[in-house]
Structure 1
Amino acid sequence: MGIGGLLAALFIMAACWADITLPCFRPYGMTGFCLLMTGACLAGITGLTLCIGLGPWQKLQHLAIRYRALHGWIGITTGTLLSMSFLAGTMTLFAAPLQQWSQPPLPDHGALPLADIPATLDQILTSRTEDLPSIFPGLHYRVGLKTSDTATLSIPTGPELPLGLPASHILISLPASHTPSLHQLTLSPVPTFIGGLHRRLGLPLPENWAMPLVGTVCLLYGLALLSGVILLLPGIWRHLMSVRLQGHSRRLWLDLHSLLGLCSLPFHLIIALTTALFAFSPLLYPVSSGHDGIQQATARKVPPASSLLPPEKALSFLHELAPDFHPLTLDYVLSPHGTDSQAERLALHAPLYNANGERSLPPAGQSYLLAEGTDLQNPLIGRDRGAVLLTPETGHLIDSQNLPGQQTPARRILTWCLALHFGSFGGEFVRWLYVALGLCGVGFFHAANQLWLNTHRRRKPGQTSCVETPATLWLGRLSEGTLLGCLLGLCGIIAISPLMTHLTPIPHLSSVSTPDMEHSYQQTSLAYHGLIALTLVSYCLLPRALCRGIILALAAFCLSGAVTIVLMRHTAVQTPLAAELTIAFSFASLALWAGSLLTLYRWKQVAPTGR
């Protein structure tokens, strides 16, 4: 075991050394480093598995016996964390739709003709020019494309940092009077919180503290996957693709765990490797990023919107550059926010999540046009979109390394690694496929925990049933309570998400207020962790079956309440993605209600007998 761990560490250290020392990797920058890290993690997991398996035994059955204890202990120590991460990760697939779903009804006449956007923006910005520096430390306006000739127009009031809290937006609409109308939209921090929960495996720790632990857990997760395959091989043909419902519960959990693991093995290997890459690269890349220096530029005077590249010309240029690329937003960043710096992005551990990549960031103070969109024919490097950087004055290309279909082979390989993690390819079918795989992952890890608990329960002589030991009793309560607490917490914060978004009309830009997003985020965190604590206390005091039914009922109530709030707002179907989410949450709440009623009915049947 020690030799294997040393070998795995050497592979990762060798990747860092190669990125720093070998000239052949320098032109690839972050791309080359990420590919090296992915290969090093894969080689480390494989080497660790082989080293553990080396020994005097040659038969596969004996090798499986040697792996069983390792596989079981890795499962029980990491299974609950991974199941929470998979549950939250399933929700992050709908981060953008959840934000739209939570919004109140948007103002009428929000879609403007593309040709009218520069004049409308100039009319607004020149009305109170003297107030602009105090209102907006950086000037940035966003064109959200609706149709081929209409779009929405908004002004973010803060930097759009990757993994950061969302900034409020000033929505600009143009009623029949042709006098621009302004509304301030305060967004919900719930999608950001769920994303952080997923990245930290549900741990209530700061991001930079949790990342080393996350990387270690994911390497162990990959090791458990390979050792599980070795355990499965000796008897794989006897009960392949079958679940034995009769007999001992241990057999049921074993069959269920093996079936879910075998069917989704490639998916789990991809998740383990890419998550280890996400966790370790921010910690190691600053050491190897000396050859990626970014020149500083002096700040320039903000030009009027009418002097910039019109949106329709930008779209025409993008169509010529990448015909399959469908832009969703055009961000004209004319005066970048002071906090939107390279150091801030690295502090957020976000070099891979950043839509336009680390090396493609423009010099500080330089204006740029960021076009983000989708491409059904190519994988996307972001969660749901690719990106390209242009100059806002002329439309000249600054960087296209994250533009789908226009990447170098090395960058394309990295993009596929990220797309396989996020499910950002193949459109809606793949998104829902990843939802199914994510929920199967939750069942996979929960089945692993139950299998370990059944294995370690004591069997009394002359009795067919097993007896709980103090360790299995409390581990069982904690593992199930934590998972159901995570479910209840997610449903609870989804229920309050529509209540945390606000749309306020404002007379002019000087009336913009600064919402305390940190406070809203802390309230969300308090609500989530409070529900988890409530669940764990319930599992410590009440019978498990009763707790299970009550927690499922509370989760169903929260989700039903969220759907009811959105339906009463008449925003459930304001966008196609919001309609999908409304239907999905409705079915999920019905499933939770059914599970709760069935659990309580069974508990009521067995409770009087004392079983």
Structure 2
Amino acid sequence: MKIRADILRMYKDIHSWVGITAGLALFVAFYAGAITMFESPLQNWATRPVPVSSVALEKTPELLAKIFAAQPQAMKSYSVIVHPTPEQPARVMWAALSGQERVSRHKVYAGMDADGNLEIVHQDPPEIANFINVLHQRVGLPFPRAISRPIMGIIALLYGLALISGTLILLPSLAKDLFALRISHNVKRLWLDVHNVLGFFSLPFHIVMAISSVVFAFHEPIFAVEHWMLGKSSALHPPQVRHGGTQQSHTVLLTPEAILQSLKVQVPEFEPDTLNYAQGRGGKLALRVAGHDPRYALRGPDSGFAGVDPYTGKIVSTDYLPGHQTPAFAVTTWFFSLHFGSFGGTPVRWLYFILGLAGAFLFYTGNLLWVESRRRRERKTGLLHDTRATTILASLTIGCTLGCVAGISASFAANSFLPGGGSYAAIESVYYAVFLFMIFLAFVVGVQSHKQLLLAIAGVFTIAVPVVDILARPAVFLRSGALSLDGTAFFLGAGLILTAMKIHLRTQKRRCVQSDLSASPR
């Protein structure tokens, strides 16, 4: 395909400036977003085991009666856990708002001991998984949601523009350059080849991320316009689950065991995980059952939902029920699941994790290419040193990207030392302290030497995650989820340190050659 030189030059300018404008924020979004693919396992890893005895499912009504007698406020909203785990052994839990902005809810867990006595445990779950998810949504900005979300939407629009322009740039030389990974002393050429390969082969993934991010950012005004035009709800903004059905013929709640048996008959392939009860109008309870069906995509990051009449056990809403949705809702579910990676089980989550890291590396290499191109243009004009603008951009590129890596790793490592695993404010303080420190270092130590130093620091912080787990929480380290997290952190940290060492050795070799050339007689 042939494109006129002037048009191609215009697309290159658009791609470069859009990439520079949005690249650093997108790095944070993709790196943190890759980690959120395992948000639930990370939450289990970070949470201290709840010291409460579980009860058999058939004893849940007895447990609930004792809970409501001791804690009447729990009747307004509570959850029954279908499959308790070692990290979450309680059969029943409920939550109370903490009253603090950006802090998740205080949780209360209940069980019974061997003598039938009620056990109640209060816990503020650690916020590391939630913080990383929020960091991903806000593209690294420490602003409230009302400010950061529109900014995220604008960045997503720029991201889409960069995808279009980058693809058009690559088209004329697609057959020649796509598989050409030229490993030589020309570092810029190597970065360009890697950037092109990553961008082209992950293009469908990036298109989905760009479009869905724009919708997530501006969904409220979109819904407002839609409601004004159509005058009714749609698949993107559905009505609330009905409370107890349209005709109420029962006044006694079915037991959780009976609810599960009824669902087994109605939707055999749907596997319930949690029964979430909430008090509605007139004191009637509404029931939303969270679960999954491995054959279908899920509306949420981890679950699909069925609206169930808690008095009859009949399903009253299938809007979010996998495999039982209307075509409009099914399309919307796939739209969300393509962003969350909530289909195909664990293999797809690992694929999205790898694509997320590759996306972060794509934006990192894009900024490096821009810096190197600007540096070469400056050298051609006779400048021996980088201009202030080039120095600032180079320092920001290294400082922000490696600051994000180091900050997230430091937050994970701090989990063992912070009270309760860390509140949102504590985790946020750790992250931004390390993040800003790395940016400060990038500006202070100099353009030529900051890359290997910051790479080494980020590597040390990342390797600290498994080291702290082994020393501080050996029992946690032996869990399968912890082994996956710690193993990934170890290899990533080791890779960063080895890269820093390689750059340092190459720099030393270059200096030795330059020293020999300057010392040789003319």
Q: 2:248 matched to which residue of 1?
A: none
**Aligned residue runs from structure 1 range 200-279, under 5 A:** 200-279=138-217
The change in CA–CA distance for 1:237 and 1:297 in structure 2 (over 3 A counts) is closer
> What do the CA deviations read for 1:95-143 (whole angstroms, capped 9, x no partner)?
1111110122333643x211111112212332x3xx634xx59342332
2:427 is aligned, of 524, 527, 546, to 524
The change in CA–CA distance for 1:63 and 1:459 in structure 2 (over 3 A counts) is: closer
Letter paired with 1:587: F
Q: Distance between the aligned counterparts of 2:303 and 2:418, measured in 1?
A: 26
Q: What is the Cα deviation at residue 607 of structure 1?
A: 6.7
Aligned-partner Cα distance in 1 for 2:510–2:94: 58
Aligned equivalents of 1:546 and 1:140: distance in 2? 51
Question: How many angstroms does 1:285 deviate by?
Answer: 1.9
Q: CA deviation at 1:272?
A: 0.2
Where 2:476 maps in the other structure, the secondary structure is coil
Using the TM superposition, give the Cα deviation of residue 536 of structure 1 relative to its aligned residue in structure 2, in angstroms.
Answer: 0.9
- Partners in 2 of 1:103 and 1:462 — Cα distance? 57
In 1, the alpha carbon distance for the partners of 2:338 and 2:241 equals: 35
Letter in 2 for 1:98: L
The residue that corresponds to 1:481 in the other structure is 399
User: In the alignment, is residue 189 of structure 1 matched against residue 120 of structure 2?
Assistant: no
Q: CA, structure 1 residues 247+573, in 2 after alignment: closer, same or farther (shift >3 Å)?
A: closer
CA distance in 1, matches of 2:437, 2:215: 34
Instruction: Give 1:457's aligned residue.
Output: 375
Deviation at 1:151, TM superposition (A): 7.5
The 1-side partners of 2:220 and 2:226 are apart by 10
CA deviations over 1:215-263 (Å, ceiling 9, x no partner): 1211121111111111001111112222111142221121111000011
Q: Paired residues, what number? A: 496
Specify the code of the residue in structure 1 equivalent to 2:258.
K
Residues 96 and 411 of structure 1, relative CA distance in 2, 3 Å threshold: same
Following superposition, the deviation at residue 376 of structure 1 comes to 1.3
Compare 279-288 and 112-121 and name the one that shifted more: 279-288
Q: Report the Cα offset of residue 171 of structure 1.
A: 2.5
| 1:548 and 2:454 are equivalent in the alignment | yes
Which residue pairs with 1:443 in the alignment?
Answer: 361
**Which of these residues, 341, 350, 371, is aligned with residue 289 of structure 2?**
371
SS of aligned partner of 1:93: helix
Residues 65 and 527 from structure 1, CA distance in 2 versus in 1: closer, same or farther, beyond 3 angstroms? Answer: same
Q: Residues 607 and 549 of structure 1: is their aligned pair in 2 closer, same or farther, counting only changes over 3 Å?
A: farther
Task: Give TM-score scaled by structure 1 length.
Answer: 0.74
Distance, in Å, in 2 between the alignment partners of 1:207 and 1:270 is 22
| Deviating more after overlay: 320-329 vs 536-545 | 320-329
- How far apart in 2 are the matches of 1:406 and 1:159? 33
* Alignment-derived partner of residue 93 in structure 2: 155
1:90-105 alignment, distance < 5 Å:
90-105=34-49
> Shift of residue 191 of structure 1?
1.6
Rounded to whole Å, the distance in 1 between the matches of 2:376 and 2:59 is: 76
Q: CA deviation at 1:69?
A: 0.5
Within-5 A mapping of 1:465-504: 468-500=386-418, 502=420
Residues 98, 501 of structure 1: alpha-carbon distance in 2 compared, 3 angstrom cutoff: farther
In the TM superposition, what whole-angstrom CA distance separates every residue of 1:330-355 from its partner, at most 9, and x where no partner exists?
Answer: 1222x3xxxxxxxxxxxxxxxxxxxx
Instruction: State the Cα deviation string for residues 363-411 of structure 1 (Å, max 9, x = none).
Output: 6965211211122110111111111121222223232111110111111
Deviations 1:64-84 (CA, angstroms, capped at 9, x unpaired): 222111111001111111011
Cα distance in 1 between the residues matched to 2:380 and 2:102:
60
- Per-residue deviation, 1:179: 2.6
- Taking the TM superposition and a 5 Å limit, the aligned residue runs for 1:356-435 are 366-435=284-353
* Corresponding residue number in structure 2 for 1:77: 21
Q: 1:177 to 1:71 in 2, by over 3 A?
A: same
What displacement does 1:417 show? 1.1
Counterpart of 1:328, as a letter, is D
Q: 1:399 to 1:206 in 2, by over 3 A?
A: same
* 1:163-208 deviation digits (Å, cap 9, x = unpaired): 9643233323333333333322320122221111111111121111
Return the match for 2:470 from 541, 564, 574. 564
- The answer to whether residue 196 in structure 2 is matched with residue 291 in structure 1 is no
Q: What is the distance in 1 between the residues matched to 2:274 and 2:417?
A: 26
Tell me whether 1:533 sits opposite 2:436 in the alignment: yes
Secondary structure, counterpart of 1:376 in structure 2 = coil
CA contact (8 A) 2:93 2:108 kept: yes
Deviations 1:44-93 (A, max 9, x none): xxxxxxxxxxxxxx845543222111111001111111011101101111
Structure number with greater CO (CA < 8 Å, separation at least 6) is 1
Identify the range of structure 1 (467-476 vs 204-213) with the bigger mean alpha-carbon deviation: 467-476
Structure 2 residue corresponding to 1:591, chosen from 469, 483, 495: 495
- Tell me whether 1:118 sits opposite 2:61 in the alignment: yes
User: Aligned-pair distance for 1:545?
Assistant: 3.2
Would you say the 8 A contact 2:452–2:500 is kept in 1?
A: no
Q: CA deviation at 1:587?
A: 3.5
> How far did residue 557 of structure 1 move?
4.5
- When residues 95 and 113 of structure 1 are mapped into structure 2, their CA distance, relative to the original with a 3 A threshold, is same
Q: Is the 8 A contact 1:400 1:407 kept in 2?
A: yes
Aligned-partner Cα distance in 2 for 1:235–1:587: 35
Matching residue within 28, 50, 53 for 1:106: 50
Please give the secondary structure, in 1, of the residue aligned with 2:364. helix
Could you say if the C-alpha distance between residues 600 and 310 of structure 1 is closer, same or farther in structure 2, counting changes exceeding 3 Å? farther
Q: Percent identity?
A: 29
User: For residues 417 and 565 of structure 1, do their structure 2 counterparts lie closer, same or farther at Cα, with a shift above 3 Å needed?
Assistant: farther
Look up the equivalent residue of 2:194 and give its one-letter code: L
Moved more, 470-479 or 314-323: 314-323
1:603–1:555 Cα change, 3 Å = farther
Cα RMSD over matched residues?
3.4
Cα shift at 1:596: 4.7
Cα deviation digits, residues 275-316 of structure 1 (max 9, x gap): 0000011233235446349799999xxxxxx94222222222
Q: Structure 1: how far apart are the matches of 2:257 and 2:4?
A: 65
Aligned mates of 1:392, 1:438 — CA distance in 2 = 40
Aligned to 2:136: 198
Mapped to 2, the partners of 1:399 and 1:294 lie a distance apart of 10
- Cross-structure match for 1:318: 263
Distance 2:411 2:201 in 1: 32
The 1:567/1:523 distance shift into structure 2, 3 A limit, reads: closer
Q: Which one of 485, 488, 510 corresponds to residue 581 of structure 1? A: 485
Alignment correspondent of 1:132: 72
**1:328-339 alignment runs, 5 A limit:** 328-333=273-278, 335=279
Say whether the 8 Å CA contact 2:128–2:412 is kept in structure 1: yes
Structure 2: distance between partners of 1:282 and 1:608: 60
